[in-house]
C-alpha cells in the first residue's frame, strides 16, 4: 500500500459521497510476502479518524523475532489485528486470533445473539465462562489452547529460532538461485516467500522473443505435474498481475535444511532439462 495514494483514495471516496471508515493493511501478503508501511498508514488513519485493521495472518509471527520484527513497526497502533499462528509457527490447525484494542466486548455486542437453545443464562456456574456467544465462531474449538501448549513446549526463544531459521533458509535459497543458470527471482524476498521462474534451456537468452512470456508461463504447470508424479516435491505456482506463472516457495517448515534447498534446485533442473 502506498500511503500517499491511500490519502488520495480517501479524499476521492468522500468526494463521491461515500463515508470511509476502515483501512485494511497487510503484513505478509499471500503471494509475494510483502509488508505494508504501517507507521505511515497509521498516520493517515489517525488524521482521518479511520479504524486501522492489520491483516497479519501470515506475517504476524515475525513479531517473535528480534531480528526481523521491524517489518511490523507500527502494528501497535492498529485498532485490530488478525494473526494465524498455524501458518509460520506451524501451530496445530486451526489456530487464528483476532486482537482488538477495544475492551468493551465489541465482538459480543456485534455478534452475540443470546440464543436460548445454545447459551442458557440460568446455569449453576458463572455464565461469563461461556465463550460461544462472545465470538464469531460460536461453538468452534478453542484455538488459543494450541498456541499456549506450543509456546509452553518451545518457549519464546524456540519460536524465535523457528522464525529466524525460516528467514535464513529463504535468503540462502534466493542467493543460491542467483548462482545458477535458469533461475530468475520475481523479486528479492522480503519474507519467507521465494517467488521465481525456472527458465528451461530452450528459453534461455530468448527474453526478447515476442512469445517469451507466454512460453515461460507454461513451464511451471509442466514442472508441477512432473514433480507431483515423481512424488519428490510440491511447490505452488500462480500468475500475478501482468506476470505469467511463477513458482511460490514458502520456507516455513522448521524441519527444513540447506540440503533441502539444494535438493529443490537440483530437482527442478533435472525435471526441466528437456524443456
pLDDT single digits (tens) 163-180: 999 999 999 999 999 999
Q: Which of 33, 27, 28, 26 is nearest to 249 (CA)?
A: 33
Mean pLDDT, the chain, whole residue set: 94
Give mean pLDDT, residues 112-130. 83
Identify the DSSP state of 35.
Answer: B
141 pLDDT band, cuts 50/70/90, is: confident
Look up residue 229 and give its three cell numbers.
508424479
- The sign of the torsion formed by the CA atoms of 174, 178, 180, 183 equals positive
CA distances from 249 to 79, 100, 131 (A): 32, 32, 38
**pLDDT at residue number 120:** 83
Q: For residue 116, name the pLDDT band (cuts at 50, 70, 90).
A: confident
Residues 6+ positions from 80 with CB-CB distance below 8 Å: 51, 52, 53, 54, 98, 99, 100, 101, 102
φ and ψ of 195, to 5 deg: -105, 130
pLDDT bucket at 240, cuts 50 / 70 / 90:
very high
**Per-residue pLDDT reduced to its tens digit, 22-72:** 999 999 999 999 999 999 999 999 999 999 999 999 999 999 999 999 999
Distance CA 115, CA 190 (A): 46
Residue with cell 445454545: 118
Main-chain phi, psi angles of 199, to 5 degrees = -95, 110
Separation CA 82–CA 89 (nearest Å): 15
| Distance between CA atoms of residues 29 and 229, nearest Å | 30
| Domains, the chain | 1-84 (3.40.640.10), 156-272 (3.90.1150.170)
C-alpha separations of 141 from 92, 110, 111, 135, 146 in Å: 12, 20, 17, 12, 10
Helix (H) or strand (E) holding 268: helix 258-271
Least Cα distance to 31 among 139, 193, 188 occurs for 193
| CA atoms within 13 Å, Cβ hemisphere of 92 | 11
Mean pLDDT of 244-269: 97
| Cα–Cα distance, 211 to 206 (Å, whole number) | 9
User: CA 58, CA 85: separation in Å to the nearest integer?
Assistant: 8
Q: In 74-85, which positions are buried (b, 16+ CB within 10 angstroms) versus exposed (e)?
A: bbebbbbbbbbb
111 pLDDT more than 90:
no
Amino acid at each position: 500500500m502506498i500511503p500517499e495514494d491511500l490519502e488520495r483514495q480517501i479524499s476521492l471516496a468522500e468526494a463521491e459521497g461515500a463515508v470511509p471508515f476502515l483501512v485494511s493493511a497487510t503484513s505478509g501478503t499471500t503471494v509475494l510476502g510483502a509488508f505494508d508501511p504501517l507507521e505511515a498508514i497509521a498516520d493517515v488513519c489517525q488524521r482521518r479518524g479511520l479504524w486501522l485493521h492489520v491483516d497479519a495472518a501470515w506475517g504476524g509471527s515475525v513479531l517473535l523475532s528480534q531480528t526481523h520484527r521491524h517489518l511490523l513497526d507500527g502494528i501497535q497502533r492498529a485498532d485490530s489485528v488478525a494473526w494465524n499462528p498455524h501458518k509460520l509457527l506451524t501451530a496445530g490447525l486451526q489456530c487464528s486470533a483476532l486482537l482488538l484494542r477495544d475492551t468493551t466486548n465489541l465482538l459480543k455486542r456485534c455478534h452475540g445473539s443470546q440464543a436460548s437453545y445454545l447459551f442458557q443464562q440460568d446455569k449453576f456456574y458463572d455464565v461469563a465462562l461461556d465463550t460461544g456467544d462472545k465470538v464469531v465462531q460460536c461453538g468452534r474449538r478453542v484455538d488459543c489452547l494450541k498456541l499456549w501448549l506450543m509456546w509452553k513446549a518451545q518457549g519464546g526463544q524456540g519460536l524465535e529460532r523457528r522464525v529466524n531459521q525460516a528467514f535464513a533458509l529463504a535468503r540462502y535459497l534466493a542467493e543460491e538461485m542467483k548462482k545458477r543458470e535458469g533461475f530468475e527471482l520475481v523479486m528479492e524476498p522480503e519474507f519467507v516467500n521465494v517467488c521465481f521462474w525456472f527458465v528451461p534451456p530452450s528459453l534461455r537468452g530468448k527474453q526478447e522473443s515476442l512469445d517469451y512470456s507466454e512460453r515461460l508461463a507454461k513451464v511451471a504447470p509442466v514442472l508441477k505435474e512432473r514433480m507431483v508424479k515423481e512424488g519428490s516435491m510440491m511447490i505452488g505456482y500462480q500468475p500475478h498481475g501482468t506476470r505469467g506463472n511463477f513458482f511460490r516457495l514458502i520456507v516455513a517448515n522448521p524441519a527444513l535444511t540447506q540440503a533441502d534447498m539444494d535438493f529443490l534446485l537440483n530437482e527442478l533442473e533435472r525435471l526441466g532439462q528437456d524443456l
